[in-house]
Chain A
Amino acid sequence: MAVRDVTAPGRHIIELDRVSRTFATPGGRITAVDQVSLALAEGEAMCLVGESGCGKTTTGRLFAGLLRPTGGRLLFEGSDVWEKKGKDLAVFRRAVQLVHQDPYASLNPVRTIYDTLSAPLFRHRKASGRAGATAAIVELLQRVGLTPPMDFLPKYPHQLSGGQRQRVAIARALSVDPRVIVADEAVSMVDVSIRITLLDLLLALRDDLGVTIVLITHDLAVARYFARSGRIGVMYLGRVVELAPTEALVSDPAHPYAAALIGAIPEADPTVTRTKERVGLRGAEIPSLLAVPPGCSFNPRCPLAERGLCDVLVPELLPIPGTREVACHVAVRERTRTAVGV
C-alpha cells in the first residue's frame, strides 16, 4: 500500500489518496492511474510531468473531479469529494477548475468572449444583468492581460491568437473564483515565443489570489520554470515514480527514468546539449498498458534493474533524504545508505 504524500508543504487543499482509475478498452482493462497519492498544499504551484500514456491527463481529471476513481479517495479540504452531495459538491465544482490544452476545442466557436465568460457568472449567480456581467468580465480580462478589455468582448475565438484564446480559457476558469486550477498542457499549443508570459500569468494568479495550481506537461523545461519554487512529480505507466523539489529533481534525479528523461532532453545551448550525460536505456519503447511488466514497470528498460528484485516486487513511493520520494528499490537503498553513512 502506498504511503500518503509527505512532500507537500503546509496544509493540503486537495489530495489524491491511493487513487486508481481503470478503463475498459477493446484489448482489455487498463489501469491508467495506479495507486497515486499526491497532495497539493494551499497556494502551491506544482508540475506533473511524463510522456504520453503515463496517466498525467487522467490524474488531472481525477483531481478536477471529472473522473470517478475506481479505487482510493479524492479529498478536498480533508473530506471525500465523491461522498459529497448537493451544495457541498457544488462548492467543490466551483473551487476546482480545469484549463484544457487546446483552446480551439474548449471555447465555443459561435459564442463571443462576452457570452463565454458571462455564462458561468450567471449560472453561479455572481452577476446579474448585462451591466453587472460586463463589469465582472472587464476585471477578468484585465487580470489575464487582455487589454483593452472592451475590445475583446464582442470577439469570437477565431478572431484571437492562440495565446489570447488560452487567456480567455484561463479567465473563464477564474470567473468562479476557483481555489485550485488544474492546467493540462496549458501552454503546449501556443508558440514558444509566448509560453513564458502565459506561465507567468498563471504564477501571478497563485501570488495575487492564492490559487493552487497543478500544471500537467510533457515538457520538463516548462515544468522547471513553472515549479521553480515548488515540486515536480514524474509519472511513468500510471504511477508517480519520483516527487521532489524542482531543482533537486533536475540537477540530481533519483529515479533512473527521471534521469533518462533529463539526460535525453535537447537543450537550447549547443555546447550543453552536445555534451550532456545520457542514461542508456535498454529499450526505447514504452510498454503497453495492456501488458505492464511485473515488479517495477520500468524494469525491462532500466539500467539499474536487479533480477529477482525489480522484476518481482512493485516499488513503493518512499521518502528519501531531501523531502523527496522515489519509487525505486535501488535508488531508495543507495540514497538512504549514503544518508546514514553506512
Chain B
Amino acid sequence: MSVLLSVRDLAIEYGSRRGPVQAVRGVSFDLEQGETVAVIGESGSGKTTLAIGLIRLNPRSARVTRGEILFADERGTENVLDMDAETLRRFRWQRAAMVFQSALNSFNPVIDVWAQFLDTARAHGMDDARAVKRRARELLDLVHLDPDRVLRAYPHQLSGGMKQRALIALSLLLGPRLLILDEPTTALDILTQRQVIDLLRDLRRQLGFSMIFISHDLSLAAELADRVLTMYAGRIVEEARVADLFYRPRHPYSVGLLRAVPRVSGELGALASIPGSPPDLVSPPSGCAYHPRCPFAIDRCRIEDPPLGPVDSPGHAAACLRWQAVAEAVGTREPAKAL
C-alpha cells in the first residue's frame, strides 16, 4: 500500500475578537490508497476544520499557521498548501472531492441535476456533453438511482436520501482518489442512512478511492472505517485500527465517547456522559487539554502535554500519560462487557 495523503504538523487558526481560535493544533496522520479513516469527536473538537482544511475550503478568517498536506497520486506528489489558485481549483473535484453534511443545500436549487453534472464537468475541461452524460448515467446507476428520472429532476424533487446519493455520484464524476465526507448520514432517516452506508462501502470496493469521513456518530466509524482518529481540542489524541479503538481504547476521551453511546443490540451496558464541555480554543487548558474532564488525570497531566505515542497493540497510538491505567481499567475485551 502506498500513502495517498500525508498530513504533517498542521495547525489552523480562526481570527476572533478574543484572539486566535486554535481549531487545529499540530495534526499529523497518513492515509493510504484505498483506505477509509474516520475522524471522531464532539462538536468543537476541530474535526470539520481539519476536513475542509485538507482541500483548503476554510473560510477566509482561517489561517494555516504551519504544517504541510502532501498529496501523492499518479500525477505526482504536491503540497496542497503550496498550490496556486488554478492548481487548487483542479485539485478539488479531480483529485480530492468533498461531500458536505447538508446535501440538501449543496445543489443549486434552480438548475436540474443534469445541469449540475455538466457545469462541474465543463469547469474541469470535460466539454464533450455526450461523454459527460454517459459517465453521469453510469455513476447514478452505481448509486442505485434512476438516471432518466434523476438527471431531469430539480433538487427539491428528490428526497433527502436521493439527494445525498446524487451528490456522492457527482463528487465522483472526475474520478478523485480521495473523498472527504462531513457527517454524510446525519440528516437521514435510518433506512436511508443504511442505504448510504452500504453504498459507500460498495463504491469504495468498486472504485478503490480513499475516504476520510468526519462524524460525531461512532456507529458510522464502526461500520465503515479501517482506522479511526479521535480528535480533542484540535489534536489527534488517539489513532487506531477500528477494532482497537472500539475494543481496546487507550485514551480516556475515546473511552468517554464509547461509554456515552447507547446501543440497540446486545447488552445495554453502563452508560455515562462525559462531564463538562470541550475547552475554549482561544486559551486551551495547560498540559493535556482533556485533563479537566478526565477521570484518570494526575498532577502531571496539568503540566505535560504528551505527544501521540505507541501503546500495546501495533499501529495504535494514544496521547496520554495514563494509557496503561486506562488499559487496566478497560481491558482488551468487547466494550459492552468491558465498559
Contact = CB atoms under 8 A, between A and B. Distances in A.
A223 to B, nearest CB: 9
A269 B336 contact: yes
A82 B274 CA distance: 44
Interface in B250-271: 256-258, 260-266, 268, 271
A191 B42 contact: yes
Contacts of A262: 264-265
A52 to B, nearest CB: 6
Contacts of A260: 191
A268 interface: yes
Nearest to B253: A193
Interface in A105-141: none
B277 interface: yes
Contact of B263 (A52, A261, A269, A274): A269
Interface residues of B, number: 43
Contacts of A161: 277
Interface stretch (A9-17, A214-222, A329-337): A214-222
Contact of B262 (A222, A272, A274): A222
Given A161-B277, A220-B264, A266 B191 contact: no
A228 B222 contact: no
A191 B193 contact: no
B161 A266 contact: no
A274 B216 CA distance: 19
Interface in A269-299: 269-274, 276, 278, 281, 284-286
A18 interface: no
Interface in A178-237: 191-198, 200, 218, 220-222, 224-225, 228
Contacts of B222: 266-270, 272-274
Interface centre among A197, A250, A272 (most CB of B within 10 A): A272
Given A193-B273, A276-B265, A264 B159 contact: no
Contacts of B110: none
Interface residues of A, number: 41
A52 B188 CA distance: 9
Interface in B265-306: 265-266, 268, 271-274, 277
A228 B189 CA distance: 23
A264 B220 CA distance: 12
B243 A270 contact: yes
Contacts of A265: 190, 194, 219, 264
Contact of B218 (A198, A218, A220, A268): A268
Interface of B: 42-43, 159, 161-162, 189-195, 197, 216-223, 242-243, 246, 256-258, 260-266, 268, 271-274, 277, 334-336
Given A192-B217, A194-B274, A264-B190, 10 more contacts: A51-B190, A163-B277, A191-B42, A197-B273, A198-B273, A218-B189, A218-B190, A250-B265, A266-B197, A266-B219
